Chains A and B, each alone.
Chain A
Amino acid sequence: MTRYVMVIDQRRCIGCHSCTIACRTWNELPLDIVYNPVLTEGIKGEWPHVHRNWLPTLCMHCDKPACVPCCPTGASQQDEDGTVWIDYDICMACLACVNACPYGMRDQSKLQPRLHRFVRKCTFCRDKRKMDPTSEPYCVATCHQKARIFGDLDDPESEVSKLLGSVESFRLLEDLGTEPQIYYIPDLGGRR
């Protein structure tokens, strides 16, 4: 089995937003949609020991996604490799999944024609991987600091498996029980 996950190394991220730009450009997103915002935390601490963290985000491709079972049309789906995606041909944009996602990573573009809207989200660049199974999502490929690492968690030889086995990591809003599959390696200030 394959289980795609992403590890985001906050120690390496410099908050350049390249991943956001790459995603928006390659996925041809409308202006009001961002799949992977890079959030800024801080400023934390007391002078002179102040620091700031960046928290690159994206759809968490949860093991138990809240957005899939609530979809009334079956447009919101999950592949066996864990990728959560939306079949745009079936989505009627009722926004049930948008309200179900605890991370706010789904939305519809209000700039699209009124009768042709659908809900969008990050798909780990599913269409790109379909053409070339060894390829990485655009945000990973573009990250010059190698802060985003993509791979198969079920493969013990993969970089993500080795990283997660060797350093401390955390996930966002774990207490909701959605089992998000985006792992963060914390920067200064440690685990939140």
Chain B
Amino acid sequence: MRHHYWEWPIPTYLFLGGLGGGIFCLSAILALIMYPSVAVVAEILAWPGFIAVCCLGLGCVFLIVDLGQPMVFYRAFIKSTSVLAWGARMLTICAIFGVLWFASYIPWEWFKPIADALVFFRPLLLGIAGVSGLGIMLYTGVFLSTLKAHAFWATPALPVLFTVSALSTACAAISLSMGWWPAQIPTAVYDMDSYAMAYLYVSAMEVCHEVLHVVDMILVVVEIIVLLVMVLSFLGAGNKTANRVAHKWVHGAYAGYFWIGMIAIGLVIPEFLYIFTAGSLGSTIIAPVMVLIGGLLLRFMVVNSDERAPLPGENLYYGRLVGDDAEFIHRWVYGENEY
């Protein structure tokens, strides 16, 4: 049976898109809902915002490169109402408003007029980026789960899993990158003003780290539960195709990636590091990196588990056909067989 139509750019995009959308969503929650009166919170989140924009941009490149006709990608914006078309629109909105929000923090002298013009709109820009970021996180899972040809994808657990994973990886990415340039954290204290300012930044960083730490701990637990519920329910009660994939995950070809890569490295070990080594290198750097690796692995494993129910005799038929590497296929030139 033929499958794996989507190659590595698509799962990479699903990861990057979810990560970028998640960063903007969490940034909006932190800066606009939790601490709307503390301006430095948004400022220390500016660099994660830049990382998110890079993720979305790189994801778009992967998405476009994978098309059969990359030069006409704009057609996705024109008329369709499919989930994928709405996803492309939300991706664009999130990236544009995210860039504008980040631009409002750039301290370069020559850029000052543009940045100053955007300062007033910061809450609006981040709000729109955050809402469309939520849309990106949701649509990736929703889209795959609507493809009922693939029994392993067609489950309501998949959008939940992808959304939780996107939020979790976003927590990790923000923890790793928070407070860098363009946040103007004083490097030396000369007087009371600079001391107060430094204190404000350090306090905001600590509070945000604390919030993200707790949130990621909860999200990792939720992700473990949703992942195990999805895979083990398919193992016990799924239809034949989903059951076969679940077997592959639990004790087949993907078992190593699943148990060691995703469950251990991506979820359980980071959870223990978060709980028992709070404040140390293990909790602030190693655990977030492991969560990010787990998130990427999840997208690859799910997209590669695209088995569909074979028609009677289908495996035999396609097994008999020559492979793509047969010499006569390479010698055949498109267009030469036209009459």
Contact = CB atoms under 8 A, between A and B. Distances in A.
B68 A41 contact: no
B147 A92 contact: no
B185 to A, nearest CB: 43
Interface in B138-152: 143, 146-150
Interface stretch (B33-41, B81-89, B287-295): B81-89
A31 B80 CA distance: 31
The dominant DSSP class at the A interface is: loop
A55 B313 contact: yes
A32 interface: yes
Nearest to A113: B334
Nearest to B144: A99
Given A102-B308, A118-B68, A28 B338 contact: yes
A70 B82 contact: yes
Interface stretch (A71-79, A127-135, A146-154): A71-79
Contacts, number: 137
A96 B80 CA distance: 13
Given A72-B76, A116-B69, A28 B337 contact: yes
B120 interface: no
A102 B314 CA distance: 12
| A74, A92, A119 — most chain B CB neighbours (10 Å) | A92
B311 A39 contact: yes
Interface in B69-105: 69-73, 75-76, 78-80, 82-85, 88
Q: Which size bracket describes the interface of A in this complex?
A: 35 or more
A95 B148 contact: no
Q: Chain B interface: which size bin?
A: 35 or more
Interface of B is mostly: loop
A188 B85 CA distance: 46
A93 B71 CA distance: 11
Nearest to B308: A102
Contacts of B306: 99
10 contacts: A73-B75, A73-B79, A92-B67, A94-B67, A95-B6, A95-B68, A112-B334, A115-B70, A117-B68, A118-B69
Interface of A: 28, 30-32, 37-42, 53, 55, 57, 66, 69-75, 90-96, 98-104, 107-113, 115-119, 172-173, 176-177, 192
List of 8 A-B pairs having minimum Cβ-Cβ separation, nearest first: A93-B68, A117-B68, A39-B313, A102-B149, A72-B84, A73-B75, A72-B85, A72-B76
Given A96-B147, A99-B147, 20 more contacts: A37-B314, A39-B317, A40-B316, A69-B82, A71-B80, A72-B84, A73-B78, A73-B79, A91-B68, A92-B68, A94-B76, A102-B308, A107-B2, A110-B324, A116-B68, A117-B68, A117-B69, A118-B68, A176-B149, A192-B312
